[in-house]
Chains A and B, each alone.
Chain A
Amino acid sequence: MMRVKKLGLILFVLILSISLVACSSNGGNNSSGETSQKEGSPQKEESSKKSESGDKTERVLKLAHYIDPANKDDVYGVAMTEIIQQFEAETGIKVDLETLPWDQMESKLVISNAAGETVDLSWVSSQKLASLVNAGALRPIDDFVATYDKKIMDDFSELEDKATVSELDGKKYLYLASMHTRMLWYNKELVNTPPQTWAELVEIGKQATDKSKGQYGFGFWGSKHYGSIEVAISPFIWSAGGTISNKDGEVTFNSPETVEALQFVGDLVHKHGISPESVFTSDSAEIDNAFKAGNIAMVINGSYMYDRFMETEFAKAGNIGVAPIPGKNGPAPNFINGWGMAIPKNAKNPELAWEFMKFFNQTEIQIKHSLAEGGIPTRKSAWTDKAFEDKPLHQFFFKNAEENGRPMDPLVYYQEGLEALNIAALGYFLDAKANVKQLLDDQAKMFNDKY
């Protein structure tokens, strides 16, 4: 048994030494040679302005994004990495990139901001703007924007502004990296002409549905997540004339128009059978995968699915189509938002962050980014650039955004409000016999009382 004790002791010492030594061994480990990743653990003396080489005072911008420079297969990642390198070359500011999972970006921002140690610029989902502002995690950029040339300001799409100004205090907090519009994607091998109205949707959907083969006509994201309201349910509500909230911060979704819209959506599964039941329980990825595999003929999704959908076999054969979302009697409005660049409140180098934002807002960068990501440039002048001449999908995105795009209804408690609607809607979606009006009334009352 002395052997065990000795073994244990040796192990203990070994672990201790490895742990202490480990950080410096990281210095040699660089997964990509291109964009510099942070070397070693930050030491107290070293401020974020000094570089690793020591003597020269270098400006370093700490940036958080979800791309992974090491992944060469990701078209968007490669493009984004090039953009960052171009920024470094043109401005002499070094970029220190932290890669985070895309759905943890905002959480990490809030937590590190509360703790006082944060990056200078982070990519955030613009729909989280309200929550982030409410939590006091962001630094308004109105002071920086004031330095912008008027010509440039006019060149930004109005939709960009709508998605980046807070309902709470009217201040601007983000610049969108690109804008995303939602539309009907369809598989031309299964659907010839896309539907334009609700009636056509049902009809064409039925033609494309064959349950014995596991094939369905129409899919969308309708599960328990506020995002489902943003992407798929709101077009139906708006098209029927309903609203989600009003300017006084109250939710208004318990209206007959909303009832009508929700009943139509529920019918798609229960009555007409053109949508699989899993639209109410699966996350977006599962529905998208089914679409990509050819099991669903039409889906509602955003322009951000561009590079993923283009990977499919039918897209490569030129058989992918896009159309405005069918509304009650014509094209339905769709929600416009995007990934945005935000400066945490406690960022140490907001000016460097602003330099990056300015760089990124340039038309040529917007074009380059948009080509890879599928989003719409925020600069209107980019829309008419020759780079998009032979890109019919991109051109459709621009048109769809301009003609049918709109911001979300005003909500200070954005996520909570949408969630309340989501819960009411699901109560009906999952139980076709439920009283929709009652559910909506209950949730609306609960929300209005609570907030």
Chain B
Amino acid sequence: MKKDNILPYVYLSPSVLVLLLLSYLPMPYALYLAVTKSQLGSGERSFDGLENFSKILKDPYFWESLSVTFYYTVFTTLAMTVLGLVLALLFNKKIRFRALYMTILFIPWVVSEVVTGQTWKWLLNPNFGMLNYLLEPLGLKPSLVLTAPIFGLLGIIIVTLWKNIAYSTLLLLAGLQTISKDLIEAAQIDGCSTWKAFRFITLPLLKPTIMVVSLLLIINCMNQTGIILVLTNGGPIRTTETLGVYMYKEAFMNYHLSNAASIAVVLSFINLFIVAIYFRFAKSNM
């Protein structure tokens, strides 16, 4: 580590500038929206203090959405990390047809969210969809994810997984590839089994990447709206209405900009909290 004087600041200036102008400068507006309320009809804003926040805390929809968001985020992140890891490990080796599998995995990621939602919705249609048609004889009823409130989350988790699995796989694969193969080869020459090599060499070296990927996935889930809106619109009932979806609806369908801004602020704090925990955890692990 070298100690320089102004050079680091120079190198960092473009990023800082962009973020400052385009992210930080508009932020006060969100705060402004969150602490003012708009006069019904004229839209004029008057200072309201923390009224908006107390309104949110009293709002049962908010707490419902919070819990939905929690389960959605935790399970999706878990699934995407584990599956991504498995796939990354597989793709790291010279498997037959690896290129084909990787390309196929990549395709859902670039399909537009609208078409994703529409296609899955039609496939899962309780009466006219292909999945029920194929799987009902086998005793499964996939459309339950759209009609039964308990299974609602399962539906959006699966579709999110389907669309984004390439994301975590790609990152974990990149992480794997930066681990020098020599290390593993050396260990194996010394008589280490493949499993042991994985547990004691690969996994620990991969840990930082896994943690970063999980963090990114968590933040991604908190902000996910497109797929959920098209697939279930927060349904059945409200079992898939995450905070992100609730906020989007408040902003773009009900035009309660104050509400939306307050939720945004709360979401930021939650994200911040998660990041803080991550750092605490990461530091203790170093």
Q: How many A-B residue pairs have CB under 8 A?
A: 97
Which B residues are CB-close (under 8 A) to A416? 254
Identify A225's interface contact among B44, B128, B143, B233, CB under 8 A: B233
Identify B148's interface contact among A131, A133, A430, CB under 8 A: A430
Q: Does A295 contact B (CB under 8 A)?
A: yes
Given contacts A135-B43, A276-B128, contact A281 B255 (CB under 8 A): no
Minimum Cβ distance to chain B for residue A420 (Å): 10
B249-277 interface (Cβ within 8 A of A)? 252-257
Name the residue in A132, A412, A415 with the highest tally of chain B Cβ atoms < 10 Å from its Cβ: A415
Given contacts A168-B41, A277-B127, A281-B235, contact A134 B146 (CB under 8 A): no
A430 and B236 within 8 A (CB): yes
Which A residues are CB-close (under 8 A) to B146? 281
A131 and B43 within 8 A (CB): no
Q: Does A114 contact B (CB under 8 A)?
A: yes
Q: Does A313 contact B (CB under 8 A)?
A: no
Q: Does B142 contact A (CB under 8 A)?
A: no
A431 and B149 within 8 A (CB): yes
A278 and B38 within 8 A (CB): no
A192-240 interface (Cβ within 8 A of B)? 214, 216, 223-225
CA distance A450 to B159 in the complex (A): 34
B237 and A224 within 8 A (CB): yes
Minimum Cβ distance to chain A for residue B127 (Å): 4
Minimum Cβ distance to chain B for residue A174 (Å): 15
B59 and A423 within 8 A (CB): no
B92-139 interface (Cβ within 8 A of A)? 121-122, 125-128
CA distance A133 to B82 in the complex (A): 49
Given contacts A214-B128, A345-B43, contact A281 B237 (CB under 8 A): no
Identify B237's interface contact among A134, A277, A286, A427, CB under 8 A: A427
B43 and A136 within 8 A (CB): yes
Main secondary structure on chain B at its contact with chain A? loop
A277 and B126 within 8 A (CB): yes
Which B residues are CB-close (under 8 A) to A169? 41
A136 and B44 within 8 A (CB): yes
Instruction: Give the size category of A's interface with B.
Output: 35 or more
Q: Does B40 contact A (CB under 8 A)?
A: yes
A426 and B255 within 8 A (CB): no
Name the residue in A225, A278, A282, A286 with the highest tally of chain B Cβ atoms < 10 Å from its Cβ: A278
CA distance A223 to B231 in the complex (A): 12
Which B residues are CB-close (under 8 A) to A281? 125-126, 143, 146-147, 232, 235-236
Q: Does B84 contact A (CB under 8 A)?
A: no
Minimum Cβ distance to chain B for residue A269 (Å): 10
Minimum Cβ distance to chain A for residue B230 (Å): 9
Identify A450's interface contact among B44, B59, B125, CB under 8 A: B59
Q: Mark A126-167, 1 if CB is under 8 A from B, else 0.
A: 000001111111000000000000000000000000000010
Q: Does A290 contact B (CB under 8 A)?
A: yes
Q: Does A119 contact B (CB under 8 A)?
A: no
Q: Mark B211-236, 1 if CB is under 8 A from A, else 0.
A: 00000000000000000000011111
Interchain residue pairs A-B with the least CB separation, the first 3 = A136-B43, A224-B235, A276-B127
Can you give 12 A-B contacts (C-beta < 8 A)? A136-B38, A168-B40, A169-B41, A224-B236, A277-B143, A286-B125, A290-B128, A412-B40, A416-B254, A430-B147, A430-B148, A430-B236
Additional A-B contacts beyond A136-B38, A136-B42, A426-B237 (18; CB < 8 A): A135-B255, A136-B39, A166-B41, A168-B40, A276-B128, A277-B127, A278-B126, A280-B147, A281-B232, A290-B127, A290-B128, A295-B128, A412-B40, A426-B235, A426-B236, A430-B148, A430-B149, A450-B59
